Structure 1
Amino acid sequence: MKAFLGTGLLGANFVKAMLRRGDQVQVWNRTASKAQALETAGAKAFENIIDAVKGADVIHLTLKDDATVDQVLEAASAGFSTGVTIIDHTTTSAEGAVERTATWKTKGFTYLHAPVFMGPPNALEASGNMLVSGNQEVIARVETELSKMTGKLINFGPEEGKAAGIKLIGNLFLISMTAGLSDALALAKALDIDSADISALFSTWNPGAGAPARLDKLRTGDFSKPSWELDMARKDAGLMMSAAKASGVKLTVLPAVAAEMDNWIAKGHGSDDWSIIAKDNV
């Protein structure tokens, strides 16, 4: 028997996929109607969280944040079966994941943080990526079940909280990428270029495909062989900002990047590769 606490868009689709695989799933959500809606798919919904976890060998969580996870687990704990395994898919702090692993271990329960790069469609289709780290014996014990939930289960080793940290790093990149696309659309607007043309460009020229190679280049810390000199990149950034300003369009990301370029140019690195702006972080 499984229990699932937190049946928003992601959690609800995880539950539906479990039910399709033949699992028995008890569900709970703070907004009871969201849990009750899953009864038509075969789940058993409870308004009382203690009842929702009774008899469950594994309890999955998809909640909001550290505080919510702590509150929900504390409220549910009176119904925990002996030796129950708690698997938390919530995006939380690394510190919180470490603390919960230790806290619930002292109480006789197993807590594993397994955050995901998965949207609701991925949860329903069992595609995407799930991250784990920590006690390798625990991970080995649940690996088969977790693998059923995702296209790829990535094990980052024995360090507690590492999966949580990597999840945050991945989300940072997604936020940065979306903000960059927002600036691209803003500049297209300033230049009176249809956004469909930008879509056509990226469908042919995919800059994201070069991210792994670019990251490896940054990690070497060698910026002395430029493919794009910092001075030239800053010149181009100036052209972009001037075009946006002339049309009254706001850029969000580029001005901050340009300011960092100016810092490195002032230090005498104008002829180095423009990616030297990352030097202090590698």
Structure 2
Amino acid sequence: MKAFLGMGHLGSNFVKAMINKGEEVQVWNRTASKAQALESVGAKAFEEITDAVRNADVIHLTLKDDAAVNEVLDKASSAFKPGVIIMDHTTTSVEGSVERTKEWKARGYTYLHVPVFMGPQNALESTGSMLVSGDQELIQSVQPQLEKMTGKVINFGDKAGMAAGMKLLGNHMLIAITAGLTDTFALAKAMNISKEDLSALFDSWNPATSFPARLKKISGGDFDNPTWELSMARKDAGLMMAEAKAGDTDLMVLPHVIASMDNWISKGHGKDDWTIIAKDAL
């Protein structure tokens, strides 16, 4: 028997996928109607959280944040079955993940943080990626269950909280990419270049192909052998800012990048590879 707490878009589709695989799932949500809506596909909904987790061997969570996870687990704990395994798919802080692992172990239960790079459709189709770290014996025992839920399980070793950190790093990259795309669309608009023409550029040229080499260059600190000198990158950034100004457009990312470029140029690094702006982060 499984229980699932948190029937947002992700949690609801996880439950639908489990039921499609023939599993029995008890569900709960703070707004009861969201859990009750899943009864039409075979889930058993409960208004009381303690009833939802009663007799469950595994409890899954997809909630908002650390505070919500702590609150929900505390309210449900009086009905936990001895030996229950708690699998938390919520994006949380590293500290919260570590503390819950310790706390629930001390209380006689097993907590495993399993954040995901999965959207609702991935949850329904059992595709995407799940991240996990911590007790390797435990992970090995539950891996078959996790593999049923996702296309890939990525194990980051025995350090509790590592999966939480990796999830935040991944989400940071997604935010950075979206912010960069936002500036790119804004700059295109300032230059009277259509969204369709911009898309055609990336249909023909994929900047993501340079990512592995750039990551290697930055992580290796190889700034003395430039493929694009910082001074030249700064010149191009200046052209971009001039076009944005002419089009009466504000950019959210580029001004901060330019400030970093100017700082490194002032220190005498204009001839180095432009990726030197990442040096202090290493």
Question: TM-score, normalized by length of structure 1?
Answer: 0.99
Map residues 107-186 of structure 1 onto 2, 5 A cutoff: 107-186=107-186
Residue matched to 1:214: 214
Residue matched to 1:22: 22
* Secondary structure of residue in 2 paired with 1:7: coil
* Secondary structure of residue in 1 paired with 2:270: coil
Query: Is 1:243 aligned to 2:248, yes or no?
Result: no
Alpha-carbon distance between aligned partners in 2 of 1:64 and 1:211, rounded to the nearest angstrom = 31
Q: Tell me which stretches of 4 or more aligned residues in structure 1 moved more than 6 Å.
A: none
* Secondary structure of residue in 2 paired with 1:250: coil
* Secondary structure of residue in 2 paired with 1:209: helix
What whole-Å deviation, never above 9, does each CA across 1:94-143 have from its counterpart, x for those lacking one? 00000000000001100000000000000000110100000001101100
Alpha-carbon distance between aligned partners in 2 of 1:35 and 1:109, rounded to the nearest angstrom = 25
Residue matched to 1:271: 271
Residue matched to 1:55: 55
Residue matched to 2:43: 43
Residue matched to 1:82: 82
Residue matched to 1:94: 94
Partner amino acid, structure 2, of 1:74: D
Alpha-carbon distance between aligned partners in 1 of 2:226 and 2:212, rounded to the nearest angstrom = 18
Cα displacement (A) at 1:203 = 1.9
Cα displacement (A) at 1:209 = 2.8
* Secondary structure of residue in 2 paired with 1:131: strand
Partner amino acid, structure 1, of 2:165: G
Alpha-carbon distance between aligned partners in 2 of 1:125 and 1:31, rounded to the nearest angstrom = 25
* Secondary structure of residue in 2 paired with 1:223: coil
Alpha-carbon distance between aligned partners in 1 of 2:217 and 2:46, rounded to the nearest angstrom = 52
Partner amino acid, structure 1, of 2:277: I
Cα displacement (A) at 1:211 = 1.6
* Secondary structure of residue in 1 paired with 2:59: strand
Cα displacement (A) at 1:217 = 1.2
Query: Is 1:204 aligned to 2:204, yes or no?
Result: yes
Question: TM-score, normalized by length of structure 2?
Answer: 0.99
Cα displacement (A) at 1:210 = 2.4
What whole-Å deviation, never above 9, does each CA across 1:152-211 have from its counterpart, x for those lacking one? 000000000000000000000000000000000000000000011111111221112322
Alpha-carbon distance between aligned partners in 2 of 1:236 and 1:168, rounded to the nearest angstrom = 31
Percent of residue pairs identical: 67
Alpha-carbon distance between aligned partners in 2 of 1:203 and 1:76, rounded to the nearest angstrom = 50
Partner amino acid, structure 1, of 2:279: K
Partner amino acid, structure 2, of 1:133: S
* Secondary structure of residue in 2 paired with 1:3: strand
Partner amino acid, structure 1, of 2:151: G
Aligned length: 282
Partner amino acid, structure 1, of 2:239: L
